[in-house]
Amino acid sequence: MNQGFIEQEARAAGRRNRRLFLLLLFVYVCIMTVLVVVLKDAIDLADSRSRTLVVCFFIFSGLMLIFTVIGLIGSLRGRADGKILILPFEEDTKKAVGERIDREVREGNIQVFEYMEKFKEGEEPWGDRVMLLPSYLLLMNSMGKIIAIPREKIYWICAQAGIQGRSSYRVRLLVFTEKKIFDHMTAIDIGHVEELADKLYQYIPNVFCEYDTFSLSYELEKLFAKDREKFLKFYEEEKRKHGNFIKS
């Protein structure tokens, strides 16, 4: 029996997470072994402070081991029941949305599919991905989670270059929607993400095409958070200028 797209992604995520937790378990065992060998003669259990340090160490290491084992068990059980799907708008059940996505992928209706990072020829691609279907924009992270955004809920998409606090990034894909701005898809290659945005514009037109994306993206990000009505008014004005855009 052929697997649907969501089930394939769930199983692939399970394999990736299983390798990760096995690696963490191996590292944990190595560190514990080294510490026991190095410190066994230096610890004086007759000293109260040494006993306290030993107890705290074993509690901390025990918690690490428990979390690692729980993660490993979770990856072994797999997540083919739709739990990898995140529906921010809760427009339907996960089962119904998953079936819709599976059908559109099976019918070959993938309009855009791209990794956030650019890879050289011969390299195996990995990491965050973006997929556009007739019904949904899918934001897929490297841990297997899939955020499904209904097409009709999207206002604007853009590639925003810049720096965010202490955590630097070269570029991120911003998705302005009725509910929030999705801004977690980041990358290094600015040109690649700009090309991705251009591909998406073929199906979700760029309402603000007359403006400089770099400066406008920051201005609209602030406006969206501060005054949603003003943002919507500006959006509707630009949409009327160009006509026949995504939201009615």
Predicted TM-score (pTM) above 0.95: no
Residue 79 near residue 12, CB atoms below 8 Å: no
- Average pLDDT, stretch 221-244? 90
Same domain, 118 and 227: yes
My answer on whether 58 and 149 are in the same domain is: no
Note the pLDDT of residue 52: 78
The DSSP secondary-structure symbol of 3 reads P
Last residue of a domain, one of 78, 111, 126: 78
160 and 44 inside one domain: no
Q: Which two tokens stand for residue 210?
A: 């007359």
Top-ranked range on mean pLDDT: pick from 83-87, 184-188, 225-229: 225-229
**Is the domain of 56 the same as that of 165?**
no
CB within 8 A of 20, min separation 6: which ones?
71, 75
Q: Which domain holds residue 69?
A: 5-78
The pLDDT value given to residue 166: 45
Domain co-membership, 166 together with 47 = no
**Token representation of residue 246:** 């995504």
Domain end among 78, 96, 119? 78
Confidence of residue 72 (pLDDT cuts 50, 70, 90): low
Domain boundary (78, 113, 134) is at: 78
CA dihedral 204, 210, 212, 216 (to 10 degrees): -70
pLDDT at 121 over 90: no
Instruction: Say if residue 61 is in the same domain as residue 109.
Output: no
Residues 109 and 201 in one domain: yes
Looking at the chain, the whole-number percentage of residues with pLDDT higher than 90 is 49
Beta bridge partners of residue 78, listed in sequence order? none
Same-domain check for residues 122 and 55: no
The confidence band for 104, taking pLDDT boundaries of 50, 70 and 90, is very high
Q: Is the pLDDT of residue 148 over 80?
A: yes
Which pLDDT belongs to residue 44? 64
- Pair (90, 175) in one structural domain: yes
Question: Is there a single domain that holds both residue 232 and residue 110?
Answer: yes
User: What is the Cα–Cα distance from 176 to 186, expressed in whole angstroms?
Assistant: 15
> Domain total for the chain?
2
Mean pLDDT, all residues of the chain: 84
Measured between its terminal Cα atoms, the distance across the chain in Å is: 40
Q: Which of residues 163 and 140 earns the better pLDDT score?
A: 140
- In this structure, the answer to whether residues 227 and 133 fall within a common structural domain is yes
Is the domain of 105 the same as that of 194?
Answer: yes
Q: Read off the pLDDT band of 168 (50, 70, 90).
A: low
